Amino acid sequence: MRRLGKIIKTLLTKLFDIFREPIENKAAWCVFIGGIIVGTVFCFGMPYWQGNVDINETIAVRGYFDGYEVHYSSHENIENIRVRLTNQESYKIDGSCANDSLLENLKKINPGTQIDILLHPRGNYVMQLSTDNMELLSFETSRKLMTGEAKGFVYLGAFMYVMAAICAVKLVREEVY
């Protein structure tokens, strides 16, 4: 834990050293505008799309399982899992909710098996997935994981606002070249 604290302190020190010196005018404007846009999306968009919901707010869907596709990010992490139904509809399970147990259970479902899905009302992410005899993804687990991920994005958004504010101060003080 001490080592992590030391690494964070070193990174923050180097970051603020960069902003003590004058920076290029275009870079300052790009970070300012980008920080405002990305900060707004992360601080307000992600909690809206993936934020905490009550089970009564979810959208219930019942259909017949056709298959699933796992989508990976560039870092080989699961980005999302798309569950396909026989009526050509597909629903997305967020990567934060994906784990080995879920993938193993999805492999066990035969095509044509009836499944029940609860969807997030704003993001249309699968919050609960079950069959008559098996719960593959519980509502409480997915709610905790997605809310935690949304909080992480809020922190990143706040960081982007701080970066935009630093660049705004540099622009006002004319510490740009």
Strand order in the sheet with 78-85: 90-94, 78-85, 59-72, 114-119, 126-130, 135-137
If phi > 0 it is left, if psi is from -120 to 50 it is alpha, else beta; for residue 176 that is beta
> Does the global pTM surpass 0.75?
no
For Cα atoms 3, 19, 11, give the angle at the middle one, nearest 5 degrees. 10
How much is the pLDDT for 11?
66
How much is the pLDDT for 1?
46
Write the pLDDT tens digit of every residue in 40-91: 999 998 888 777 888 999 999 999 999 999 998 887 888 889 999 998 899 9
How much is the pLDDT for 22?
77
How much is the pLDDT for 49?
79
94 and 83 in contact (C-beta within 8 Å)?
Answer: no
DSSP label of 41? I
CB-based contacts of 142, cutoff 8 Å, min separation 6: 93, 94, 97, 125, 126, 127, 128
How much is the pLDDT for 3?
64
Least Cα distance to 113 among 58, 60, 55, 68 occurs for 68
Looking at domain 55-137, what is its CATH homologous superfamily? Nucleic acid-binding proteins (2.40.50.140)
How much is the pLDDT for 5?
66
Q: Which regions in the chain score pLDDT beneath 50?
A: 1
Locate all alpha helices (DSSP H) within 21-138, ordered by sequence: 25-40, 46-50, 100-108
Q: What is the b/e burial string over 109-125, where b = at least 16 CB atoms within 10 angstroms of the residue's CB?
A: beeeeebebbbbeebeb
- Phi–psi pair at 5, nearest 5 degrees: -60, -40
Helix axes 139-172, 25-40, angle to 10 degrees: 150
Q: Locate 143 and state its tokens.
A: 């709610």
How much is the pLDDT for 118?
94
